Structure 1
């Protein structure tokens, strides 16, 4: 594997870590933890999706989903906008992405909050109003490039960039808090911070992010990240996975999937491969949980800490070439 300067290595670790988790969780998404265990035993690497999976049927081992695709879209728009994301351009890009996926016969389409918001934009609803009900994890799953491009300090301008990346679809207290947590953790890792520092940054950003956007009922994400990390601490992996599923939750709700990702990070000490694999074995919205965990772990430990054969598979199966994009995002930092 090519040796990169330390900060670029961590930026690439974030992007490829996201793709790694996304691909590992692809075949187990929308499955229960019990079904994951029945079908795969304990997932130990890339697997193709089963033909009866309602979302990822037909996808080969190592294929990424909307999590990676949309994170690349956001990254490209940040670069094109020289540090800003135009909400209408993001809406156009996401609509175009889904049209392309439909043309390919893919079942992996836009999530519920994003789809509803983009339909509202198409009807002429202003971007600042279209995302007023978006509470799912769509903003959190695509926010990694914000963490690569911007330092989390000072926090309020950083949150402005987070909001730009999610306002059109997830302009709510819960949606923004979840995205802010992930972006701040990635930004801390890219800056050379430890996993402990990344988790602390996530909690701080989620707490401040919850003061942005339209209020929506939902548990406090900052508090749930702290609680989820404590909940599973010291447990063996099987027991911890059961507890995360039963108490934290693995649905598309931001207040479940985002804390679940941080619980997995804590349990694995932030090892990118182990964190992504553990999340993939959860089931539920496993591709997004694993993508978030992989992005944060990758930002802390760098691309050099990811298994070289896994990265090679990701590039070959998906034609990923994230080096130029990550380099341009870092130039904005």
Structure 2
């Protein structure tokens, strides 16, 4: 089975050019990609870790912690805690990873919450109750959980957001899925024996960084 991770390299680099920020973006892209392929939860975590590791090779060097390690730490710290125990979840995540604003802490927490809950509504509520940069954490956790179980995202929440912001999220999501399918068959993408080849400068790729690697499903 072949997966392709795509992230807006130019946008990420312009706004947050260090390797930790790019690693965080790749971790989210990896989790979403694995979820779109209907992989088991633990495989979603593993692929997000691999993507984070690959993304750290890009951008300005960072002294912040390795996101791929923090993803596992975050999930292990909460996997036995009931999802309605917000205080217990907060304490465990704060002790194991740290409830902070930096992406290297925020993204592992969001991924862990999404995998632990496997329900978009629940994931969003948990992340919101973690405090700090709660809107970002909730957005990421909700997006991953909703990719795993789309029916768990409350339609009235989506409608309310659209009325308030008019971001046309449904149309954007459909466009991204279509682009993803096109990228999966793009011959311009390179593949080497390490399973990864970035191709950010190609005019056909239009400055996007792409990851291509193989994964054998254990299902």
- The alignment's TM-score, normalised by the length of structure 2, stands at 0.73
Which residue of 101, 111, 120 maps to 1:262?
111
3-state SS, counterpart of residue 91 of structure 2: helix
Conservation of the 8 A alpha-carbon contact between 1:162 and 1:176: no
| Corresponding position of 2:130 | 282
Task: Give the 4+ runs in structure 1 shifted more than 6 A.
Answer: none
Give the structure-1-normalised TM-score.
0.49
Q: What is the rounded CA distance, in whole Å, between the counterparts of 2:158 and 2:129 in structure 1? A: 20
148, 154, 164: which one pairs with 1:317? 164
Measure how far apart 1:325 and its partner are. Answer: 2.1
How many angstroms apart in 2 are the aligned matches of 1:282 and 1:294? Answer: 14
Structure 1: 5+ residue stretches without partners: 1-150
Q: Flag the 1:320–1:290 CA change in 2: closer, same or farther, 3 A.
A: same
Map residues 236-247 of structure 1 onto 2, 5 A cutoff.
236=82, 237=85, 238-247=87-96
| 1:182-220 superposed Cα distances (whole Å, 9 cap, x missing partner) | 011112222333433322211110011111111110110
Distance 1:162 1:324 in 2: 18
Aligned twin of 1:235: 81
2:179 matched to which residue of 1? Answer: 332
**Alignment partner, residue 182 of structure 1:** 28
Partner Cα separation in structure 1 for residue 112 and residue 158 of structure 2: 24
CA RMSD of aligned residues (A): 2.1
Say if 1:152 and 1:315 are closer, same or farther in 2 by CA, change over 3 A. farther
Question: Which protein has the bigger helix share?
Answer: 1
**Aligned with 1:153: secondary structure?**
strand
1:300 equivalenced with 2:148 (yes/no): yes
Equivalent position of 1:193 in the other structure: 39
**Offset of 1:293 from its aligned partner?**
0.3
Mapped contact 1:195–1:297 kept (Cα < 8 A) = no
8 Å contact kept, 1:185–1:198: yes
Highest relative contact order (Cα 8 Å, sep 6+), 1 or 2? 1
Gaps (5+ residues) in structure 2?
A: 181-219
Q: CA deviation at 1:229?
A: 0.6
**Number of residue-to-residue matches in the alignment:** 177
